[in-house]
Every structure is written in structure tokens, then in C-alpha cells.
Amino acid sequence: MASNKNVVPQAREALNKFKMEAASEVGVNLKQGYNGDLTSREAGSVGGQMVKKMIQSYEQNMK
């Protein structure tokens, strides 16, 4: 069974900030707290942008 708990509790704030930045970059208006009114497309674009930025960061750190 999957868990939604962060391994490092202090990381929650950084992850939320990262998510808000990614949402802003793709033009999705996220609110603090519940965002259940987002479409699947909007939520997916935020998650996709987060993954894209993580991959770019990883590739830059490999050089």
C-alpha cells in the first residue's frame, strides 16, 4: 500500500514551493490546500513540469 508521507518531514515546504513554481510556469492557478477543482489535464501538466525540471537538474549536476 502506498504512503503519501514524506521521508523527511521538513521537505514538505520545499516540495510545495516547487509545485507552486511548476504550476506558475505552465499557467495553472494552484491554491494553498485543496485543489480538487483542477482538471486532470491541469494536474498532469503541473506534475509533468515538475518531472521535467527534476530531470534537467539531474542532468546539469552530472556534468
Give, as one character, the DSSP assignment of residue 32: S
Model pTM above 0.85: no
**Distance (Å) of CA 36 to CA 16, 30, 40:** 16, 10, 10
pLDDT in tens, 12-57: 889 999 999 999 999 999 998 899 999 999 999 999 999 999 999 9
**What is the C-alpha separation between 6 and 30, in angstroms, rounded?**
20
